[in-house]
Amino acid sequence: MYIDFLTLMLVNLMAGLFLLAHFIWRGLGSPQQKFWAPGFAMTGFVALVTGLVMTFTWPLPSSYNIPFGEMSVLYGTVFLGAALAMALGWDFLAVVIYALFAGIAAVIVGVRIINLGLTTTPLVTGIGFILTGVGGILALPGLYWRGSPIPHVVGAAGAVVAALIWAFVAYSAYWSHLENFTKYLPPGMR
């Protein structure tokens, strides 16, 4: 048996995407952007810490540590960078450039998960990675077109759809993980 905190990571991802959707819809360009910084910082912190642990310790079997651990590190870094920019009133350009490359990686990971049939729901999980990655890719042009309502609608809707996909994956994982780990004992109790 192995240590598995993937459910925590997935709920954090889902919560962050809902927060992002709300920020895109109501907060982007607002003089009250500092209001959003704590939520982005919390999301970024959990994603970065759990992603680093997963990336450095490989607690999951097979190659699952790569898509979930490494993408969580990138996601957490984007959210922490956005929180810092919001709190200090900085421009988002550096954050969205980083998000562009993180988004490309997430799209590749999503396509490969579908291609390899990884996870119990490869199509849903792959689409979740792809949509989340597309959001990162579109953040750069969205930043420049923020005067138009179209990027707000598309960005917020995309983040909500991605969050709903991750909600399905996360809550399904909670359901199965609680059953799968009923007989688990930590090494000190064996």
Domain membership of residue 145 (yes or no) is: yes
Domain membership of residue 26 (yes or no) is: yes
pLDDT tens per residue across all 190 residues of the chain: 567 899 999 999 999 999 999 999 887 878 888 999 999 999 999 999 999 999 999 988 889 999 999 999 999 999 999 999 999 999 999 999 999 999 999 999 999 999 999 999 999 999 999 999 999 999 999 888 877 888 888 999 999 999 999 999 999 999 988 888 888 777 778 7
What's the pLDDT score for residue 72? 98
Closest by Cα among 41, 39, 32 to 18: 39
Closest by Cα among 8, 5, 10 to 169: 10
Domain membership of residue 136 (yes or no) is: yes
Domain membership of residue 189 (yes or no) is: no
Distance (Å, whole) CA 161 – CA 34: 25
Q: What is the CATH number of the domain that holds 119?
A: 1.25.40.600
What's the pLDDT score for residue 188? 78
What's the pLDDT score for residue 74? 98
Q: How many CB atoms lie within 10 A of CB 20?
A: 29
pTM above 0.85, yes or no: yes
Contacts of 31 (CB under 8 A, 6+ apart): none
Domain membership of residue 188 (yes or no) is: no
Distance (Å, whole) CA 3 – CA 88: 37
Domain membership of residue 187 (yes or no) is: no
What's the pLDDT score for residue 2? 64
What's the pLDDT score for residue 23? 93
What's the pLDDT score for residue 169? 96
Structural domains counted in the chain? 1
Domain membership of residue 172 (yes or no) is: yes
Domain membership of residue 1 (yes or no) is: no
Q: Structural domain of residue 131, as residue ranges?
A: 6-180
